[in-house]
Structure 1
């Protein structure tokens, strides 16, 4: 696996709540500063070959190309924008892995989401009112009509029920995520990975005093008798994250620490239970790498919903207290297409910046019943 590409740097924006601190920052204004920062840190910026960016429901065009030019990269640098819903940030890294296998040099990869400024979409409503009659298009179908296609929230509630994840455990987990994030925030843990945007320098969502007792007051929001609430779910958020990658041969001559990609898996699962999709991805990763739950020194499995991630962690054999030890998406937020790259940025901080060394695991569930997982190792 020594010929695998290496992540040599990783940064992100602060994560803002929808219509909150970053409400006026368009998606390109989130991404461009990250590209410029990583290009400035690149040991050989003239060897940057491509920018690959995950984004969904954005302004269209080719956001990666736009932001590469906006950041001042040479016109020869190409841009590729990918959409794999919540998996888009990791999909961009997988694409970069393949690109570096063919063309040595450096690639910037990541994802971005501006829920606050993304365009609204409209369909012709099919009425007799004429061609200008429009109906807002709020949710895409992720699978054909013959499949069950519940919303992510309802599906998470059903996953929790089916796997015996009760309300008390969910609230305790969510409260701990906020406690960890608040502690990290005030300790400056995130400072080295954050590039300020629009004078915003820190994550907006983490809440002090979010105890399990306080969370118990919230009502279920997706079904009667359910256990998923607004407080034990992630938010709708704005943010971006990018990593700087290079091929193994180039990295060998740099003398820099980094995260070597051991393997990456994207796999399909049950469309009716999209939040459980990271489980088959991680299991396939275990199988292909020969690694198991105890072989990872840092774990960042995305916390979309407390009940959903607890069911997944139980299924892949990772104790829940080992996941997102500095706070996860329940506290920090989940800027959809950016989150996969946020997970890798969090691993880079824990294993490389903090000089802990070892291996890391990141995984995320994807709409439509898919999941993605990646294993990395400090080199």
Structure 2
């Protein structure tokens, strides 16, 4: 009998995990649409699994609509009877898609390919319709919350850093370290097995060598006078996609295969004015379901939207920042919104499965509107 979706997971195995290089908006991946980016990793994940999935689930925030997951599945050459679903939990969309896919598999579905995609470069322009004599009004993003609580992410991160006592110096030092870690990881080939080249691009564009805290200290505040958040200690605007293949643990194709077992997942809401903190209760809920503590974790991947925001979350969870994002995070690699949560899981797969760095891993991300998603995995061989 299939189990209810809310029950603890024991039977969902991530057996494949791939991503595109992460491009800077307007640069080398600027001509590749969201569906085309997604098709690349959907095809790669399905090939790695060794069979077509029963369903493709992709997160996306700013694409053209029309069910990007379905377009990507068809563009990837999957059979027409493979169902597809696009989900939007803003920046948490990719990780939420994997959570949903894992719960479906654990409840008795067939194999699932899940992940996320974003092409900031090709995102369509959006307009509110005309009202009376007023012309159509172009807007950059949809509302995150009712108007009174709809705070921009940069401003909310700046206010959060101030409220949590995260200094400008600490933010700049952390951002510089993220770039240094990413540059070193790329040089030693850590990303090679997880990246699927796109249009001849095979490496992430954003990481910068020699980006020191002293250089970052020269940037002015970006979101409010006297603030501490700058373009230097914030993520970029990026293009990219990531996907994982999920099999039932009882499937013959999964038996004896190195994989990540999904043992806990949660999506939680908080007050929309401080969305960056939302990953904190999500992490606590996911770890509770998994029955693990921070001390048990071998690999930790948090989305680094803003240095101040992620440092505030580390502090709240009593996580030493030196333990997290050890090959760099979104500050260096980039933040392709709908894909970023799935990128975190690809990074877990590389470190825990491909490199054998331990047993337990955690991925977590916050999203506009005050939501957070977290996923806990266990290595099985």
TM-score by length of 1: 0.95
Closer, same or farther in 2 for the Cα pair 1:342/1:253, shift >3 Å? closer
Work out whether residues 68 and 79 of structure 1, in 8 Å CA contact, stay in contact via their aligned partners in 2. Answer: yes
For residues 167 and 106 of structure 1, the distance between their equivalents in structure 2, rounded to whole angstroms, comes to 46
Residues 190-241 of structure 1: CA deviation (Å, up to 9, x unaligned): 0000000011000000001100010000000101110000000000100000
The yes-or-no answer on 1:95 pairing with 2:100 is: yes
Give the deviation of 1:262 after TM superposition: 0.7
Residues 241-283 of structure 1: CA deviation (Å, up to 9, x unaligned): 0000011211685321100001100001121101111111112
- The correspondence of residues 215-234 of structure 1 with structure 2, limited to 5 A, is 215-234=216-235
- The correspondence of residues 177-188 of structure 1 with structure 2, limited to 5 A, is 177-188=178-189
Secondary structure (helix, strand or coil) at the match of 1:156 reads: helix
Work out whether residues 298 and 360 of structure 1, in 8 Å CA contact, stay in contact via their aligned partners in 2. Answer: yes
For residues 335 and 155 of structure 2, the distance between their equivalents in structure 1, rounded to whole angstroms, comes to 17
Closer, same or farther in 2 for the Cα pair 1:180/1:2, shift >3 Å? same
For residues 63 and 241 of structure 1, the distance between their equivalents in structure 2, rounded to whole angstroms, comes to 14
For residues 35 and 273 of structure 2, the distance between their equivalents in structure 1, rounded to whole angstroms, comes to 33
Give the deviation of 1:123 after TM superposition: 1.5
Give the deviation of 1:102 after TM superposition: 4.0
The yes-or-no answer on 1:61 pairing with 2:66 is: yes
Give RMSD over aligned pairs: 1.4
For residues 289 and 66 of structure 2, the distance between their equivalents in structure 1, rounded to whole angstroms, comes to 37
Match of 1:107 in 2: 112
**Residue 49 of structure 1, aligned match among 42, 54, 57:** 54
- The correspondence of residues 118-133 of structure 1 with structure 2, limited to 5 A, is 118-128=123-133, 133=135
Work out whether residues 104 and 246 of structure 1, in 8 Å CA contact, stay in contact via their aligned partners in 2. Answer: no
Secondary structure (helix, strand or coil) at the match of 2:149 reads: coil
The yes-or-no answer on 1:26 pairing with 2:33 is: yes
Give the deviation of 1:34 after TM superposition: 1.2
Match of 2:204 in 1: 203
Match of 1:3 in 2: 10
For residues 288 and 94 of structure 1, the distance between their equivalents in structure 2, rounded to whole angstroms, comes to 13
Secondary structure (helix, strand or coil) at the match of 1:243 reads: strand
Match of 2:274 in 1: 273
Work out whether residues 113 and 336 of structure 1, in 8 Å CA contact, stay in contact via their aligned partners in 2. Answer: yes
For residues 75 and 268 of structure 1, the distance between their equivalents in structure 2, rounded to whole angstroms, comes to 36
For residues 101 and 348 of structure 2, the distance between their equivalents in structure 1, rounded to whole angstroms, comes to 18
Give the deviation of 1:99 after TM superposition: 2.1
Report the number of matched residues.
373
Work out whether residues 222 and 229 of structure 2, in 8 Å CA contact, stay in contact via their aligned partners in 1. Answer: yes
Work out whether residues 52 and 79 of structure 1, in 8 Å CA contact, stay in contact via their aligned partners in 2. Answer: yes
**Residue 139 of structure 1, aligned match among 138, 141, 149:** 141
For residues 94 and 37 of structure 1, the distance between their equivalents in structure 2, rounded to whole angstroms, comes to 20
Residues 165-208 of structure 1: CA deviation (Å, up to 9, x unaligned): 00100000000000000001111110000000011000000001
- The correspondence of residues 228-377 of structure 1 with structure 2, limited to 5 A, is 228-250=229-251, 254-377=255-378
Moved more, 275-284 or 79-88: 275-284
Match of 2:5 in 1: none
**Residue 24 of structure 2, aligned match among 11, 17, 20:** 17
Secondary structure (helix, strand or coil) at the match of 1:356 reads: coil
